[in-house]
Chain A
Amino acid sequence: MSLRRRRQLVPWLLIGPGLLWLAVFFAIPLANQLYVSLQTGDPETGYQFTWAFGTYTDAIADYQEQFLRSIGYAATATILCLVIGFPLAYYTAFKARPWMRNLILLLVILPFFVSSVLRTVSWQLILFDDGWIVARFRDLGLLGDDGRLLATRTAVIAGITYNFLPFMILPLYVSLERIDRRLVEAATDLYASRASAFRHVTLPLALPGIFAGSLLTFIPACGDFINAALLGTPRQSMIGNVIQSKFLFVQDYPTAAALSFILMTFILVGVALYARLLGTKTLTDSAV
């Protein structure tokens, strides 16, 4: 084989394993799922492929409440993550000494060493009705005497926020850390107040991190079912709970597959709109 031919082969060898992986574990299951979602039948009499698009419209009609709830919870949690995560990422990137920075990053990553299910279960033990937290909330008048935290919307959103916070902090930190501090200095030299230097220099430069962080938080949060199952009630059930129940409990595979596709489509469209809104072009322009 000539050197030229071999050179041409190199890119394929490099992307080959990745492509193969994607094909086997992503594309094929996805196609299969699409196929299942358009079938009708039941596990006993078998399934036939019938182009059953009705499953999709029925699924939207039956479960729009859970869809909207998932989106609402995921959006709220994403905003909370941003509000909580930004100051921490900012401090870590700009103010913390190196050892402190390493410590904070370690602490952010540490929860990943424990299964998220276990961590969420331990929230049950923190928030229980006769517990310390609930008692203090009652003392402060934040909860009525018979109020509770567990099995409420608050608990579910708090759980999601907690579980996905690291996915927000890490990209924020990376984008903030890359900012050249001299740009902020230059802004203040040119008589910008600290606030307007932050608004006109730091924040725009951090936008890629905000964008990445909110996607990494919002997308999995939309499909989450662990928090709603463990910290909520039927009134908090999310679309992930419906899909899970359709697969395992009701054994209605076509509807479960259709719901997954609807969720995926929604997220793709949402992400596209969001990217447009933030303007990826201005994102890159502002970094120059």
Chain B
Amino acid sequence: MTDPNFERRLEELLASDRVSRRRFLGRTAGAGLAVGGLGAFLAACGGVEGTADDANTATVATASHPKEAIAAWTFANWPLYMEKKLLTDFDKEFGGKVKYVEEINDNYEFFSKVRQQLQNGQPIGRDIVVLTDYMAQRWVKDGYAEPIDKKNVPNAANLVENLQTIAYDPERSYTLPYQSGAVGIGYNIKKTGRELTSIDDFFDPEFKGRVTLFSEPYDAASTVLIQQGKDPEKATIDELLEAIEVISQANDDGQFRRFTGNDYTTDLTKGNAWVCMAYSGDLVQLESDNPDLRFAYPEQGAVRFTDNMMMPAKVEHPYAAETMMNYLYEPQVAAKLAAYVNYISPVDGIKEILEQTDPEIASNELIFPSDEVAANLKNYPQLTPAEERQMREAMAQVTGA
């Protein structure tokens, strides 16, 4: 390539083609299934020898990672989830060479891939991994995460207040949020004929057969719990199963067209579905393509998912990883990242920066929710792995698989 910025341009092209991270996942999910299926099967074969790991339940921990020269190290993340220029800037400023791999397409698939090494107490060859709350919780509880040496991450003080504590990691000893998003209502106002504001709208008979929900119960069942006035983070497995039962009954009445992953965006943009359970970050892109598409944070509150940076147990380059975490928590850097990925940034003080550089993004409620909305964002339920499987099994019954 004669153009050194080729890769960057390709990404811009993709971005301007409105392929956000989660949509990209939707498009590749099918391919992932075909390929991932085999991988997971092989992983499963390996995993059958696994034994119970006495969960390291200490959720508050400290660590000391002395300063050292940064050499080559590895950062594993989701596809289209990073402004790549920040990586080259990082290398320039701090030395070393970050190997950035976009290998996480699915929390479970990734976990299957590295589970064996984690269980055997071996390093997994990645220094930062980015995992969604429910998987991050599992790693913290099972002792698969290395505590963060806060001395190396002074910028962690910029973490927004409402994420400073989370049930599975109350002191943020192991995890640092990377980006968040909300599960809300994506809809086509031309088709619905009115603004939607409530979780009840998913169940409105007026839209029968024109609604899609997520097949992921962490998203779908939690949303129903919020509708019932419960806080998903404190929900029991029985309450979740009841919520799935509510979904099941509406499904039997033909309320839902499909249960989707990220591929709901096709149904929404093509007019097959009028009301979709949707991720806030996707709609930033979709709205700018089609002014009829809207996103609403439900008035009852919305589920917030957070992807977290963390270091795997036995991490080999903790200092490099922590330096990167610190770097990504500099407001100037975080602002660039937020402008690129369009999700909700966990770093305080970047709205002011973007008001100067990118006012359109700064004023977008999907990226910077109002205080009122932000106060109403709820975290995922806290489940044991056995409960989690029970929940997934119940949801699989509803989605027919």
Q: Interface of A with B (CB < 8 Å)? A: 29, 32-33, 35-36, 39, 42-47, 66, 115, 117-118, 120-121, 124-125, 128-131, 148, 150-151, 225-226, 229-230, 233-237, 241-242, 244-253, 256
Contacts and interface: CB of A to CB of B under 8 A. Distances in A.
Contacts of B50: 43-44, 46-47
Contact of B271 (A129, A237, A247): A129
A237 B31 CA distance: 18
A275 B47 CA distance: 39
Contact of B37 (A121, A233, A236, A247): A247
B387 to A, nearest CB: 11
A250 B393 contact: yes
B282 to A, nearest CB: 17
Given A151-B257, A234-B259, A245-B401, A253 B48 contact: yes
A241 B393 CA distance: 13
A134 B278 CA distance: 26
Contacts, number: 125
Contacts of A32: 45
B265 to A, nearest CB: 11
Interface in B243-258: 251, 256-258
Given A46-B52, A234-B400, A237-B400, A36 B271 contact: no
A217 B393 CA distance: 31
Given A234-B398, A250-B392, A250-B393, A43 B47 contact: yes
Contact of B272 (A33, A118, A129, A253): A129
Given A117-B30, A242-B401, A245-B401, A151 B37 contact: no
Interface of B: 27, 30-31, 33-34, 36-37, 40-41, 44-45, 47-53, 106, 108-109, 215, 251, 256-259, 263, 266, 270-272, 385-386, 389, 392-393, 396, 398-401
Given A128-B272, A248-B37, A46 B51 contact: yes
A248 B386 CA distance: 15
A43 B109 contact: no
A219 to B, nearest CB: 17
B397 to A, nearest CB: 9
Contact of B270 (A36, A125, A230, A244): A125
Nearest to A226: B30
Nearest to B397: A62
Given A46-B52, A234-B398, A247 B389 contact: no
